Amino acid sequence: MSAPETIPGTPDTPLYDRVCVIGLGLIGSSLLRCLMADRGLAGEVVACDRSDAVCARVAELAIADRVENDATLAVAGADLVVLCTPVGAYADVAALIGPHLAPGSTLSDVGSVKQAVVRDVSPHVPDGVHFVPGHPLAGTEHSGPDAGFKELFRGRWLILTPPPGTDAAAVDRLGRLWAACGSQIEVMDASHHDQVLAITSHLPHLIAYTIVGTATDLEETTKSEVIRFSASGFRDFTRIAASDPVMWRDIFLNNREAVLEMIQRFTEDLTALQRAIRWGEGDKLFDLFTRTRAIRRSIIDAKQA
């Protein structure tokens, strides 16, 4: 699906009458900021988090019309509810809010995995509520409501994974909301999403956690040198390895099959490189590094096109 050309809504006739965002960290608070900046998207913006401190901070930042600590009250009368908690909390949150979702409303999310989300949330979605899972391919290593910003989704992909048979109008309407936040929309099935994200996002994060963990386990003197002299390669890994531990624990536990398959393939390729280094097979190293450089260049070219 390409970005729709129609104007998403106006303050008089907004795209959704009431949008409720549950989980007010980096992603939830960025979405709130987008909704508050464009009053054609939501007539009323309701924010909900289980943490009193987070609710208080969101009220202070004034990035919602109303802040609710109780999710059952927060979702009442909303025609769009977006789950923005770590995915490990989805089953509990869905069980809690399911009976309170308005008929005809849409339930969505921003979770980094999609098959487990369908597994955990679908059983709690009442008949007549449209369930349209989503994933913005946009983020940082920071967490919490202060980390969010309204430009986060600009120029980034937003993947929707509606289960077969989902109402097309509900999918289109949600796509228009994200397009208005600056995202480019793609629709795919949940299992394909999880395969693609396992190699493009989940494995890179696992490698970063591993490298930084390995450096941390080095003896004290070497460790302090690593920190002191860390060049850009290692520094990039430390940025990614600073990502939220709860969120990433939940991602790996909930995309187990695809991640394990990618680890297997990666391990085999790493072993091949290990052999090439051991036996001085410079051609093999050169050939691989030449191919990977071409991939990097094609990504940059595609971005500039």
Ligand X SMILES: O=C(O)C(=O)Cc1ccc(O)cc1
Site residues, ligand X (CB under 6 A): 112, 137-141, 201, 240
Residue with smaller CB distance to ligand X, 137 or 187: 137
Residue with smaller CB distance to ligand X, 105 or 201: 201
| Cα gap 199→194, rounded to integer Å | 9
Site size for ligand NAI, by CB under 6 A? 29
Residue 145 beta carbon to ligand NAI: minimum distance, rounded to whole angstroms: 7
Residue 254 beta carbon to ligand NAI: minimum distance, rounded to whole angstroms: 9
Phi first, then psi: what are they for 16, rounded to 5°?
-125, 145
Residue 110 interaction partner, one of ligand NAI, ligand X, none, beta carbon < 5-8 Å per kind: ligand NAI
Residue 139 beta carbon to ligand NAI: minimum distance, rounded to whole angstroms: 2
**Among 42, 84, 180, 208, interactor with ligand NAI by CB under 6 A:** 84
Site pattern 39..78 for ligand NAI (x: CB under 6 A): ----------xxx--x------------------------
Question: Of 137-176, which residues contact ligand NAI (CB under 6 A)?
Answer: 139-140, 143-144
SS (H, E, C) the chain: CCCCCCCCCCCCCCCEEEEEEECCCHHHHHHHHHHHHCCCCEEEEEEECCCHHHHHHHHHHCCCCEEECCHHHHHCCCCEEEECCCHHHHHHHHHHHHHHCCCCCEEEECCCCCHHHHHHHHHHCCCCCEEECEEECCCCCCCCHHHCCCCCCCCCEEEECCCCCCCHHHHHHHHHHHHHCCCEEEECCHHHHHHHHHHHHHHHHHHHHHHHHHHHCCCHHHHHHHHHHCCHHHHHHHHHCCCCHHHHHHHHHHCHHHHHHHHHHHHHHHHHHHHHHHCCCHHHHHHHHHHHHHHHHHHHHHHHC
Does 89 help bind ligand NAI (rule: CB under 6 A)?
yes
Residue with tokens 């290593």: 141
Residue 201 beta carbon to ligand X: minimum distance, rounded to whole angstroms: 5
CA angle in degrees (0–180, nearest 5) for 4-10-15: 60
| Cα gap 147→32, rounded to integer Å | 12
- From 17-25, 119-127, 192-200, 283-291, span contacting ligand NAI (CB under 6 A): 17-25
Site pattern 185..214 for ligand NAI (x: CB under 6 A): ------------------------------
- Would you state the structure tokens that stand for residue 299, as one six-digit string? 């990504």
Residue 20 beta carbon to ligand X: minimum distance, rounded to whole angstroms: 22
Does 22 help bind ligand NAI (rule: CB under 6 A)?
yes
Residue with smaller CB distance to ligand NAI, 16 or 248: 248
**Among 86, 133, 162, 175, interactor with ligand NAI by CB under 6 A:** 86
Residue 55 beta carbon to ligand X: minimum distance, rounded to whole angstroms: 24
Residue with smaller CB distance to ligand NAI, 14 or 193: 193
Q: Which residues bind ligand NAI (CB under 6 A)?
A: 22-28, 49-51, 54, 84-87, 89, 92-93, 110-112, 136, 139-140, 143-144, 244, 247, 251
